[in-house]
Amino acid sequence: MLGDQLSPDMSSLEGMDKATSLVVMAEVHTEASYVGHHKKKIAYIFSAMRHHAKALEDMGWHIAYTRYDDAHNTGDLVGEVKRLAADYQPEHIVLTEPGEWRLLQAFKELAEDLSCDLEIRPDTRFVCSHTEFRSWAKGRKQLRMEYFYREMRRKTGLLMAGSEPEGGQWNFDQENRKPASDSLFMPQPFKVSPDTITREVLDLVEARFADNFGDLQPFWYAVTREDALKALDHFIEEALPLFGDYQDAMLTDEPFLYHSLLAQYLNSGLLSPLEICRKAEHAYHEGHAPLNCVEGFIRQIIGWREYIRGIYWLKMPGYVDENALDANRNLPWFYWTAETDLHCLSQAIGQTKHHAYAHHIQRLMITGNFAMLVGVEPKQIHEWYLAVYADAYEWVELPNTLGMSQFADGGLLASKPYAASGNYIKKMSNYCDSCRYSVNKKTGPNACPFNSLYWHFLQRNAAKLQQNPRLAQVYRTWARMAPEKQKDYLQTAEAFLATLQD
């Protein structure tokens, strides 16, 4: 049972006899270090694993649990299975399919070396199976999430009025792009004080991963299913009624706003997608939360999350190397320190460093947008996102980064690059008020770098992007600019890019 399979109803347990079965779980170095994970991420996964093992024991399962510092720990998941198979001589080994391609391949190779059968079962916690997604994608020139999402609504019955969507439309995004004001009341996330198990893990992480990115303290994540359910109830009660309105908003020193902070519990298995969605749907039917908020929230889970997983398994293993725009710049050093005069980046990276969290617009339109505009190599920004967020596993993070954020797949996932100048940041945040750069200045040393980088990005990628129908008007605007103005934009961008050199 892997570290993101912390659900009591895993397919690997189905039909097993508790009296004659052994559940194997292991904290291993290879998984803790294949990217430089945030300290909080490692602590969260190890603590949640230990708590889940205890919960399974309380349910009557026999557990073979390997801790990170155990003397016999081989440091590798495959190594642990081999070691325990030699010790226990099992007749049969059962595994729920890993969420990441590299692990699935490792276990398939392991199966050839074992003296017993290794059965890999589907992960039934998702709404859409691999076969269903491949069937949906077959023959489509563009794999747009909106149409997939509608199929998932029909399949689950969520927010459906018979055969039609609740409220007469599928998507209420036009109501969900309100900028927040500083005076807006902000609910605080659900927090849990570390218990003895968590404190032991925090000591381990502090000792063994001291040089990893991020702040370990304070640590207040839920690490049990019971507390994750409380976090879900807290979000439904306190934040869901305004989630949709302000889901794209950003405010200085307000990292959470009305977001759920449930992704890490969902992606590790403490919560299931349908139980989350049904609670949100119930809040709508009870009049507690409006349709635009509930629809937007449910779409992120049964729409976007399921769609991203489908893209991942459809396109791996080659997807990780996609680089349609031939970007090759190194990731700027301040992505690891938050020490930059660009206030929006400092805020997004700083809260990532502190909380192992940033919401989707901070990831897409601040750190992701900047990386794409300056031309960071997609694999480098992918590995950064995978490392720094507590909810990040490759299956969900990689397509979001390479496809949605960096347009590295050339438009398979997104219909156009999510490129934006400083005007977008000014509209959706108050970040620009505290920045040393002026968002109202277009060129020159004091102008917001996003303004000139935006045009530099479009100009240097014109051969690949100017035929995109959604960018036609933008390129016409560029063509109408006076040559001197174009030159000012490009020179300003080049001067800024020179400051990012290694």
- Examine the domain organization and report whether 359 and 421 are in the same domain: yes
111 domain-assigned? yes
- Cα gap 58→51, rounded to integer Å: 11
Report the pLDDT value the prediction gives residue 187, as an integer from 0 to 100. Answer: 87
Q: Does 35 lie in the same domain as 54?
A: yes
Looking at the domain assignment, is residue 41 inside a domain?
yes
pTM: 0.96
Within a domain: 2: no
Q: Do 206 and 216 touch, CB atoms closer than 8 A?
A: yes
Q: What is the pLDDT averaged over residues 190-204?
A: 98
Domain CATH number, residue 36: 3.40.50.620
Residue 376 shares a structural domain with residue 458:
yes
pLDDT over 80 (residue 185)? no
* Same domain assignment for residues 302 and 394: no
Is residue 115 within 8 A of residue 136, CB to CB? The reply is: no
Q: Are residues 362 and 394 in the same domain?
A: yes
- Note the pLDDT tens digit of each residue in 149-182: 999 999 999 999 999 999 999 998 877 777 777 6
Whether 227 maps to a domain, the answer reads no
pLDDT at 235 over 70: yes
Tell which of 315, 344, 364 closes a domain. Answer: 315
User: Among 96, 121, 146, where does a domain finish?
Assistant: 121
Average pLDDT over residues 5-21: 96
In a domain, residue 223? The reply is no
In a domain, 234, yes or no: no
Give, in order, the Cα–Cα distances in Å from 272 to each of 86, 356, 424, 479.
Answer: 34, 21, 34, 50
243 and 162, same domain (yes or no):
yes
* Residue 495 pLDDT exceeds 90: yes
Q: 38 and 170, same structural domain?
A: no
Q: What is the mean pLDDT of residues 485-502?
A: 93
Residue 288 maps to which CATH number? Answer: 1.25.40.80
Regarding whether 296 and 163 lie in a shared domain, the answer is yes
| Structural domains counted in the chain | 3
Same domain for 27 and 110? yes
**HEC readout, 332-393:** CHHHCCCCCCCHHHHHHHHHHHHHCCCCHHHHHHHHHHHHHHHCECHHHHHHHHHHHCCCCC
- CATH code of the domain covering residue 378: 1.10.579.10
308 shares its domain with 374: no
Of 121, 142, 173, the position where a domain reaches its end is 121
**Whether residues 440 and 340 fall in one domain:** yes
* Residue 184 pLDDT: 67
Range of the domain at 304: 130-187+239-315
What are 445-490's pLDDT values in tens digits?
999 999 999 999 999 999 999 999 999 999 999 999 999 999 999 9
Residues 416, 275 within the same domain: no
Residue 186 has pLDDT above 80, yes or no: no
